[in-house]
Structure formats: structure tokens, C-alpha cells
């Protein structure tokens, strides 16, 4: 049987909610595996790492750019304050090393305005932070005296803030920590005011602090990864739930035997069609009824009758003009066809195509009063403006035309003509 199209207007049988973005089966398995183990063992690799990077990029770029602006402002304010408080010679010794910081920070901020390759982001950020830390340290080294130790401590503070604030991979943060400790150790070893032993002791002290900061940062990173994995799992479950709801919705609007829309779905489609048509759109309705269907069930059994219904539904579906035309099983052996933007002539053409194809299919109905095959009687009604008549009234007109087709001998298409007599459904089998 041909594949059945299902109404898509309004809340019809085929209106399926859009699916939530779905992960691959392999990625879903990896998410479950990671969440099923210990939290401290969570590691994002491959596709999960890429997804996490895409998810966190906007926040990361904003934080990094804001930090770069902060260090530039801090650098400028410090120089301005020193200009007011310190001798001119001291200030002049600070200018050259302090001038290294702004270009480095600006370069990083510009690069992080848009997402680039991970290796490029890492290179620019780590090189930029290195020059920023060196700039802060050199200000103290060039000035000497009390500023030597003070600016090395400030440099460590700047590094720690970067480690804590930057939502970057842990290895990037570890490199920044190594920069800070290395710069501190090198300049302290060359500090004429302290002994090498004191320089090493101070370096170990600050290294332990940075190490503790990196451990805390690792914990925060793992928790962020776990939160991300939980979001992915919830997204997958939501997608499954949406699919299940869509299938239930589809089942509720589909005739289980023939696969076309059911009566409820068609009524909603009619209402939607009338609302969308306005004053300019017309429509036609075909009421199609299998002739002597009771005889078919009595002679060949209900299983053969069901088979005939399925075949007829497929023939009607394949005879429609395009996806705008809709068919529904209206009840029993009767089908309703909606033809939007069709006049009486176009509706008659579609009706005749359906009738001839059903007859040509030679589906058995040995006790039929027409011929020993299944045939259709079709009544149609059309309107040039949907707003000039209700859908229910147009449907009644098509039903009256169907009665006329039955009275006139069955196996024919009859357009609506005003008539007063209307037969009950039990008389038009």
C-alpha cells in the first residue's frame, strides 16, 4: 500500500512537535558511562569535549575579555597614582615595563571576540598572560627597593585571579600557575636584598598556595563537566519524551486500520482550513462511501472487508493532487476528502480519478449490486469562499450529494444540488 500522508494543517494528525537536538548513540553511551563512575574520574574527550567547548565559549570569552580590560585599567590607574605620589625618576623607570601589559591584554581581548581554533586560543591566551605577568614583575624589578617584592606579590595575585576566574581547560590554568612561580623564582634569585635560601622558601610558600588554587580549580572544573553531562542526559531524555508524545499524538489522530487521519483529526483540519482561507479562499469536500460494504463483510468476512478499506484508503491517498489535499476515515466504510482551493470542476476531476482507480483495482465484492468488485459512490460540494458557508454546512451538502449518487445507481460522482430529502446512513450502504 502506498505511504499515507497525514494532515498537517493546524493540529492535525501529522503535526509533530519539533525534536529536541539529539546526541549520537555513542555520545549518549559515553555520557552514561561517565555519570555512572566516580565524579573525580570524569574526563571529557572527543565529541563531549567539543560540545562542552561550544557550550561554554560565550561565557569564557566574556570573562577573559573582562579580565583583560581589568588588568589594563589597573595598570593605568597604578601608574597615575604613582605619578602623583612618587618622584619623577621612579615613575619613569616604571613606564617602559608597564607599557608591555596593555598591548598584550588588548591582543588577547581582540582574539577572544570570536571563537577560533582551540590551539590558537590557547597560544594567544597563554602568551598574553605571560607578558602581562612579566610586565607586572618588571615594574618592580626596574624600580627596585620596596617595589621589587611588592610587584612580584602583585604578579602572583594577578596569576591567581586568572587561574580562579578563567573557565579554561585545567592544563591552561596549570601553565599560568607555572608561569607565575617561574617568574617569581627567577626574579627573587636575582633580588639583591634577599638570600637565595629565602628566595626558595618564598617560592615554595607561594607555590603551595597556587597548587591549592589549582586543586580547587580542578574540582570546580570536574563539577562543571558533571553538570554539563547531566544537562546532556536530560536533553536526551527530553528528546525521547518528545518523540513518545509525538507518537501518542500521531496515534490519537490516525485511523489505526487504514493509516490515514481519523475523524477527529479531519474536523480540526477543516476548522483550520476555514480559519486560514479567509474571504479569498475556497474549498471542496468529497464524501466517499464503499458501495454495499455490508455485503462484502457478509460474503468474504470482516478480514477481507478490512483489507478492502486499507486498499481504498491507499487509492484515495494516491489520487490527491498534493500535500494540501487531505483524506480521513470518517466512519465505517466512509472517507472524507478535503480539497483546499478547489472549485467544483477540480473536485469532480479528483473524484472521478478516485472512483475509476478503485474500480480498476478489481477488489472483490461478489454480492455488490453494482459489479462483483468494490466501487465507490462519491458526493461533492464546493464553495468559492470558505467564509460564505461553514465547514459543517459544506459537509452536509457533500453528504446529500452522496445520497444522490447512491439513489442514481452508485459507482459515480455527483456534485451537490439543493435537495430536500436526505436519507439516513443506514439507507445508503
306 Cα distance to chain centroid: 40
For residue 321, the 8-state DSSP code is S
Instruction: Identify the helix (H) or strand (E) that includes residue 201.
Output: helix 196-252
Backbone angles phi, psi at 52, to 5 degrees: -65, -40
Per-residue pLDDT of the chain (429 residues; tens, 9 = 90+): 333 333 333 333 333 333 445 678 888 888 888 889 999 888 888 889 889 988 889 999 999 999 999 999 988 998 898 888 888 888 898 899 999 999 999 999 999 999 899 899 999 999 999 999 999 999 989 888 888 999 999 999 999 999 999 999 999 999 999 999 999 999 999 998 889 999 999 999 999 999 999 999 999 999 999 999 999 998 888 888 888 888 888 788 888 899 899 988 898 888 888 888 765 678 999 999 999 999 999 999 999 999 999 999 999 999 999 888 999 999 899 999 999 989 999 999 999 999 999 999 999 999 999 999 999 999 999 998 877 788 899 999 999 999 999 999 999 999 997 444 444 444 455
* CB-based contact 199:149 (threshold 8 Å): no
Q: What is the distance between the alpha carbons of residues 266 and 286, in angstroms, rounded to a whole number?
A: 12
Q: Residue ranges of the domains in the chain?
A: 25-236, 263-427
57 Cα distance to chain centroid: 19
* CB-based contact 312:376 (threshold 8 Å): yes
* CB-based contact 4:317 (threshold 8 Å): yes
What cell was used for 253?
489522530
Q: What is the pLDDT of residue 114?
A: 92
Backbone angles phi, psi at 381, to 5 degrees: -145, 145
Q: What is the distance between the alpha carbons of residues 317 and 321, in angstroms, rounded to a whole number?
A: 9
Which among 236, 249, 336, 321 has a CA at the least distance from the CA of 287?
336
Q: What is the pLDDT of residue 29?
A: 87
Cell 469536500 identifies what position? 285
* CB-based contact 7:261 (threshold 8 Å): yes
Q: What is the pLDDT of residue 192?
A: 86
Q: What is the pLDDT of residue 302?
A: 93
* CB-based contact 3:20 (threshold 8 Å): no
Instruction: Identify the helix (H) or strand (E) that includes residue 73.
Output: helix 46-85
Cell 612580584 identifies what position? 152
Which among 1, 103, 8 has a CA at the least distance from the CA of 328?
8
274 Cα distance to chain centroid: 31
Q: What is the distance between the alpha carbons of residues 166 and 62, in angstroms, rounded to a whole number?
A: 10
Report CA-CA distances (Å) from 312 to 8, 78, 257, 293: 21, 87, 12, 12
3-state secondary structure of 414: strand
Q: What is the distance between the alpha carbons of residues 11 and 27, in angstroms, rounded to a whole number?
A: 34
List, in sequence order, every beta strand (DSSP E) within 221-348: 283-290, 326-331, 334-340
**CATH class of the domain at 263-427:** alpha beta
Q: What is the distance between the alpha carbons of residues 138 and 132, in angstroms, rounded to a whole number?
A: 10
Q: What is the distance between the alpha carbons of residues 269 and 271, in angstroms, rounded to a whole number?
A: 5
Q: What is the pLDDT of residue 271?
A: 86
Cα four-point dihedral sign 421, 425, 427, 429: positive
Q: What is the distance between the alpha carbons of residues 354 and 343, in angstroms, rounded to a whole number?
A: 17
Three-point CA angle 134, 140, 145, nearest 5° = 155
Largest CA distance in the chain: 119
pTM: 0.60
Backbone angles phi, psi at 377, to 5 degrees: -105, 135
Q: What is the distance between the alpha carbons of residues 98 and 59, in angstroms, rounded to a whole number?
A: 29
HSE, side-chain direction, 13 A CA sphere, residue 343: 3
Amino acid at each position: 500500500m502506498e505511504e499515507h500522508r497525514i494532515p498537517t494543517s493546524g493540529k492535525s494528525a501529522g503535526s509533530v512537535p519539533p525534536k529536541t537536538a539529539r546526541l549520537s548513540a555513542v555520545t549518549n553511551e559515553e555520557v552514561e558511562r561517565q555519570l555512572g563512575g566516580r565524579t573525580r574520574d570524569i574526563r571529557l574527550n572527543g565529541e563531549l569535549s567539543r560540545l562542552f567547548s561550544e557550550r561554554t565559549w560565550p561565557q569564557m570569552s566574556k570573562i577573559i575579555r573582562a579580565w583583560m580590560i581589568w588588568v589594563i585599567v589597573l595598570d593605568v590607574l597604578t601608574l597615575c597614582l604613582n605619578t602623583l605620589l612618587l618622584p619623577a625618576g621612579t615613575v619613569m623607570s616604571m613606564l617602559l615595563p608597564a607599557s608591555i601589559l596593555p598591548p598584550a591584554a588588548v591582543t588577547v581581548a581582540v582574539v577572544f571576540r570570536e571563537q577560533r581554533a582551540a590551539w590558537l586560543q590557547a597560544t594567544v591566551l597563554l602568551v598574553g598572560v605571560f607578558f602581562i605577568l612579566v610586565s607586572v614583575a618588571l615594574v618592580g624589578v626596574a624600580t627596585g627597593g620596596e617595589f621589587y617584592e611588592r610587584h612580584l606579590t602583585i604578579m602572583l595575585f594577578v596569576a591567581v585571579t586568572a587561574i580562579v576566574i578563567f573557565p579554561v581547560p585545567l592544563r591552561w590554568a596549570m601553565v599560568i600557575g607555572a608561569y607565575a612561580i617561574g617568574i617569581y623564582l627567577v626574579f627573587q634569585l636575582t633580588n639583591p636584598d634577599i638570600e637565595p635560601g629565602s628566595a626558595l622558601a618564598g617560592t615554595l610558600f607561594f607555590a603551595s598556595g597556587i597548587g591549592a588554587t589549582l586543586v580547587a580549580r580542578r574540582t570546580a572544573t570536574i563539577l562543571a563537566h558533571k553538570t554539563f553531562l547531566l544537562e546532556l542526559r536530560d536533553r536526551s531524555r527530553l528528546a525521547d519524551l518528545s518523540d513518545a508524545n509525538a507518537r501518542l499524538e500521531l496515534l490519537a489522530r490516525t485511523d489505526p486500520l487504514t493509516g490515514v487521519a481519523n475523524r477527529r483529526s479531519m474536523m480540526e483540519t477543516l476548522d483550520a482550513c476555514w480559519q486560514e482561507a479567509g474571504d479569498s479562499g475556497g474549498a471542496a469536500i468529497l464524501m466517499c462511501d464503499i458501495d454495499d460494504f455490508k455485503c462484502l463483510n457478509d460474503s468474504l468476512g470482516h478480514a477481507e472487508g478490512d483489507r478492502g478499506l486499507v486498499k481504498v484508503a491507499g487509492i484515495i491517498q494516491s489520487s490527491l493532487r498534493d500535500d494540501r489535499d487531505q483524506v480521513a476515515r470518517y466512519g465505517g466504510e466512509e472517507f472524507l476528502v478535503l480539497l483546499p482551493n478547489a472549485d467544483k470542476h477540480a473536485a469532480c476531476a479528483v473524484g472521478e480519478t478516485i472512483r475509476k482507480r478503485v474500480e480498476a483495482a478489481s477488489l472483490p465484492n461478489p454480492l455488490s449490486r453494482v459489479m462483483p468488485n468494490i466501487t465507490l459512490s462519491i458526493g461533492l460540494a464546493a464553495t468559492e469562499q470558505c467564509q460564505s458557508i461553514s465547514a459543517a454546512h459544506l459537509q452536509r451538502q457533500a453528504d446529500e450529494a452522496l445520497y444522490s449518487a447512491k439513489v442514481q445507481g452508485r459507482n459515480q460522482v455527483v456534485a451537490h444540488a439543493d435537495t430536500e430529502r436526505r436519507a439516513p446512513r443506514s439507507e445508503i450502504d
